[in-house]
Amino acid sequence: MARLRERPSAPTMGASPAALERAVLGSEIRFEPALTFFAPAALERGDDGLLVADVLRYNTSGNVSALADSDGFVELGRDHDCFPAGTVVRVFRWL
């Protein structure tokens, strides 16, 4: 029986995890619990060509309306509670 090869997804096209997309935060984010925070974000290119992630505010985890205006989400590590504007973060796009 022939083995089926899995096709790479469109966003990564088979790229290694180290080559995944990154962006800089457009504004400071504070998140105090010692947890990794996955925040919905709108993405845009700055005048300098950098991808800028603006984290969208929402009330609770059940408030999915914030997702409608997002392009994906960013990962903020649990090792900090303050992420200044310009911090490089990992981006996960919806598509």
Task: For 17-61, give the DSSP string.
Answer: GGGS-EEEESS-EE--SSS-EEEEEEEEE-TTS-EEEEEPP-SST
On average, the pLDDT of the chain sits at 82
- Whether the predicted pLDDT of 45 surpasses 60: yes
Average pLDDT over residues 2-14: 46
Contact 29, 41 (CB under 8 A): no
- Does residue 82 contact residue 76 with C-beta atoms inside 8 Å? no
Position 29 pLDDT exceeds 60: yes
Q: Which of 3-12, 42-51, 60-69 has the lowest mean pLDDT?
A: 3-12
